[in-house]
Structure 1
């Protein structure tokens, strides 16, 4: 069995093709191919509330390429989701229609709460200590999803229009930051000890740069010092000296700022980075949809 997941984000569009494994009643998946195309749909969506002809054309071309790969890999089922940028673009539904007509793919524009549910359906909580409290922090280009878990149960979850592309384009609003702080104050601060779980491309990259061992947590102080270190370089030097990809070198700074703000407000000293994201959640959603769990 082989599934495909497409995540049409505000910074990049990803395709994951995964092989589904079943062993003694336990279903898991192995990543076969992961492709990332940095389209930056958020630049248009957050500034103009509209995808330009060029961005729309590039997205359709990307989807045509993904459809060809899905066919070549003989995928049994797929699911394609679009998040914050496509939610805000007034021509989002029109572009979705074009993708269906020209690429033969069904792309679903998902709301923030559904996005959070898909991300957390990767079942990370199953490997966590049930006696601890966790705040999931997923930072994307257009939104940040927060979910609080205690005793293995989700207590609260909310999506906020704060993301890396939105910050770079000066489209984040102070009242939205205040809303996020209020959510944390209301739900997370009542617990004495809360651990962070970070998902998203930027925290994965930050964890790799930290040289921490897999499974270990990244401390608030380490993340803060990394932010200061990265911020001491110009954008050009983050690309040429530190070797960051061009489309990662700018967004990694506002991503750090979002994670640090949330950790500070929730009194989180350590954040775990399980290297999963939207595409992993989509594959898990497909497994559950097809009754393979």
Structure 2
């Protein structure tokens, strides 16, 4: 239960490509509470590589995950975090030993991990603070690209219309684990849901679109054009993996997944008719914070 004017909440996002700890300062005022990001730590534990190739999470990555949770626990202590919530997504929910790994982490570190399904993941992402970006007379396709899945949400006239999660993610694509029929299913869904919507833009979230926006040199709040994104896609594909690290300065665990991520965004734009992508730098972890805050306030 929350009872201070200033407190800290944390979200742990255990994804297929990386594991993140996000800390927020929340300041309660006479009006709406103010949410401010305080710290973000990202660890490249690629759980999806284990799961999508073999089925279970390897012993090595189980130990790495435990070490990450121990480190996150200490960081939350140092930051003075009042409450946290840890959520695992696509890789953990598909892992043959997912629940066993959660039990191991709880026993070794005290961190309780919730495995959330695709529907809840989409709902949490939709709970992020988008009111500053969404204009009531326009429509938006919110695309959150992860390592194991992509969540699509349609907003129109300021309202959430529908959400859907598909098992198309960057790590899954790298491992060649996405069938052509699934791409067709996504295409049909997007075209059907956006057919009657005009003035539609994409809102992109996830580490890859954030990195692409930074690489573009555009100012915060300035959208990416699909024209630029397509040119950047061709440029990235023309370079080797090592050159994307050496010349572009990408992290090793970003230099490979950024290409399939860009493909997903470009496909969503083609099928929805969108001409630009807004990049507000919000995602699942931000939604976890908002959900945690509201659940604590109602207790």
Worse overlay, 199-208 or 23-32: 23-32
- CA contact 2:138–2:198 (8 Å) conserved in 1: no
Distance 1:74 1:270 in 2: 40
Does residue 42 of structure 2 align to residue 22 of structure 1? no
* Cα deviation digits, residues 115-145 of structure 1 (max 9, x gap): 1111121121454111101000000000000
In structure 1, how many angstroms separate the alpha carbons of the residues matched to 2:213 and 2:243? 20
2-structure distance, mates of 1:217, 1:20: 27
8 Å CA contact 1:238–1:249 kept in 2: the answer is: yes
- Give structure 1 regions of 4+ aligned residues with deviation exceeding 2 angstroms: 71-74
Superposed CA RMSD in Å reads 1.2
How far is the alpha carbon of 1:63 from its aligned partner? 0.8
| Partner residue of 1:258 out of 264, 267, 276 | 264
Q: Which of 227, 233, 242 matches 1:227?
A: 233
Partner of 1:244: 250
**Residue aligned with 1:26, SS:** coil
Matched residue count: 292
User: How far apart are the structure 2 equivalents of 1:109 and 1:175?
Assistant: 27
For residues 1-293 of structure 1, the aligned pairs below 5 Å read 1-291=7-297
Write the distance in 1 (CA, Å) between the matches of 2:187 and 2:14. 27
Instruction: Check the 8 A contact 1:189/1:267 in 2, yes or no.
Output: no
Q: Write the distance in 2 (CA, Å) between the matches of 1:171 and 1:96.
A: 25
- Bigger drift between 121-130 and 55-64 goes to 121-130
Distance in 1, matches of 2:84 and 2:109, equals: 14
Contact 2:203 2:279 in 1 (8 A): yes
Equivalent in the alignment of 2:4? none
Distance of 1:6 and 1:172 partners within structure 2? 27
| Gaps in structure 2 of 5+ consecutive residues | 1-6
Instruction: Tell me the secondary structure at the aligned position of residue 51 of structure 2.
Output: helix
Q: Matched residues in 1 for 2:27 and 2:284: separation?
A: 20
With the length of structure 1 as denominator, give the TM-score of the two structures: 0.97
2 CA distance for matches of 1:283 and 1:274? 16
CA contact (8 A) 1:21 1:29 kept: yes
State the shift of 1:189 in Å. Answer: 2.0
TM-score by length of 2: 0.95
Shift of 1:27: 0.9
Q: CA deviation at 1:61?
A: 1.2
Of 15-24 and 53-62, more deviation after overlay is shown by 15-24
Residue deviations 1:256-291 (CA, integer Å, cap 9, x gap) = 000000100111111100011111111111111122
- SS of residue paired to 2:297: coil
